[in-house]
Amino acid sequence: EVQLVESGGGLIQPGGSLRLSCTASGFTVSSNSMNWVRQAPGKGLEWVSITYSGGSTYYADPVKGRFTISRDNSRNTLYLQMNSLRVEDTALYYCAKEVRGNLYYIEYWGQGTLVTVSS
Amino acid sequence: DIEMTQSPSSLSASAGDRVTITCRASQNIFTHLNWYQQKPGEAPNVLIYSTSSLQRGVPSRFSGSGSGTDFTLTISSLRPEDSAIYYCQQSYSVLRTFGQGTKVEIK
């Protein structure tokens, strides 16, 4: 059974850093395309970042240069390092696995971890 | 980046009604369009992928169509459990983007 469990969220001051983790089970993170998607309170879904099985990484413009997606294959875990955090980064952050192959849709989501950026 | 625009932002319809949600892409995305349903307090779930393919386990009253820049999600006969927010997402670009969502309420 596929499971995605996010952790690492919390209250952080503007300008601070936080690292989110997504521990996966039931599949191998390194063999799949993995996304971070966020949702600000009461707002819609916003795609944040993706890492492909081949290692390529991409970021949405609002987080480019501040956030870094990575994975630890030995721990089967996905990370999101978030630096220079802003109030507008406040959101529930979901880890999400795309289906394998060439269909490119998200088939599994975690439950999310809440990041609150506030002074 | 590819911008996705949904309409309407919200709608209210009666059980049994046919409901259509539209999603427009700012450039040609061929058929790389997915639809997700999100209920309060839950993570989203995929309904339709690649414009018109129904995800396993999703009721057949949901269907999708379109190509290029214009897409639709149709619920053929609305049920109370369909009350949710629906999002389109393009997967043509490596920079994935979602529409702003359409809230569907049952009268």
Residues in chain A within 8 Å Cβ distance of B6: none
% of chain B beyond a pLDDT of 70: 100
% of chain A beyond a pLDDT of 90: 96
A49 CB-near residues (< 8 Å, 6+ apart): A35, A36, A57, A58, A59, A60, A63, A67, A69, A80
In angstroms, what CA-CA distances link B89 with A35, A43, B32, B92? 13, 15, 8, 9
Listed as ranges, residues in chain B with pLDDT below 70 are none
- Chain A positions contacting chain B at CB under 8 Å are 35, 37, 44-47, 50, 56, 58-61, 94, 99, 103-107, 109-112
pLDDT of residue A61: 97
**Nearest residue to B7 (alpha-carbon basis) of B106, B75, B99:** B99
Residues in chain A within 8 Å Cβ distance of B32: 104
Alpha-carbon gap: A74 to the closest alpha carbon of chain B (Å): 26
pLDDT of residue A103: 83
pLDDT of residue A102: 82
pLDDT of residue A84: 98
E strand spans, A1-119: 3-7, 10-12, 18-25, 34-39, 45-51, 57-59, 67-72, 77-82, 91-98, 106-109, 113-117
% of chain A beyond a pLDDT of 70: 100
Q: Name the pLDDT band for A87 (thresholds 50, 70, 90).
A: very high
User: What b/e readout covers B44-81, taking b as 16+ CB neighbours within 10 angstroms?
Assistant: bbbbbbbbbbbbeebeeebbbebeebebbbebeebeee
Residues in chain A within 8 Å Cβ distance of B71: none
